[in-house]
Chain A
Amino acid sequence: AQTVTQSQPEMSVQEAETVTLSCTYDTSESDYYLFWYKQPPSRQMILVIRQEAYKQQNATENRFSVNFQKAAKSFSLKISDSQLGDAAMYFCACLNTNAGKSTFGDGTTLTVKP
């Protein structure tokens, strides 16, 4: 069975500061992808960043970057220069490409303080 664990139900950060959201996963598959999704109060699921498991280089998207530690099965999200608009629930997900199935963590609610 594939599992994704987000150990921080809530996090807060001061505007313009940096915050890291944790995610660990467990899968027996060798071919998988990892994602971070953002869900603002509108409930829309917005893709933030994706990482191919076969790539060693950490993915980056503007202020968002990941620290992918494959051996440790860890996939944390770093948000730099936090903005008020970053406040949302963040979900980590692991996509098993063979089964075509994604497993999501339980989410981390991020609050950004002005």
Chain B
Amino acid sequence: DTAVSQTPKYLVTQMGNDKSIKCEQNLGHDTMYWYKQDSKKFLKIMFSYNNKELIINETVPNRFSPKSPDKAHLNLHINSLELGDSAVYFCASHSGGAWETQYFGPGTRLLVL
């Protein structure tokens, strides 16, 4: 069973379109994240949600809007896609307590043409 899953795995779209990436975790974790990994492979946090509440919002354009319908899901919606949005987007969830660890999804490769 996949612990953290993302759909789709690949996304190719035109500039200006709106797209969503979905993330689900079946680990019972309270905290979920979105990361962006650019072409240089630098990994940067975008958002963090704890129990459906936004707790971290790094300097990310308003075109990016996370949505957490419940604590097992954290979706990322992107409006008016730009060329610079092309990257790999990783979802992750975090277990707290004595086993503080982040578990990553497989990533979604987004290519904006």
Contact = CB atoms under 8 A, between A and B. Distances in A.
Contacts of A95: 94, 100, 102
Contacts of B50: 100
A89 interface: yes
B100 A45 contact: no
A101 interface: yes
B111 interface: no
Contacts of A107: 41-43
A100 B101 contact: no
A43 B108 CA distance: 10
A35 B101 contact: yes
Contacts of B106: 43-44
A67 B15 CA distance: 46
B83 interface: no
A104 B48 CA distance: 15
Given A43-B109, A89-B41, A107-B41, A100 B104 contact: no
B12 interface: no
Nearest to A39: B41
**Which of B48, B94, B102, B104 has most A Cβ within 10 Å?**
B102
Contacts of B42: 104, 106-107
Interface residues of B, number: 26
A14 to B, nearest CB: 24
B55 interface: yes
B45 interface: yes
B96 interface: yes
A33 interface: yes
A93 B45 CA distance: 12
Contact of A101 (B48, B101, B107): B48
A106 B55 CA distance: 24
B56 interface: yes
A31 B109 CA distance: 34
Contacts of B33: 102
A95 B50 CA distance: 15
10 contacts: A35-B101, A37-B104, A43-B107, A47-B103, A50-B100, A99-B55, A99-B56, A102-B102, A103-B45, A104-B43
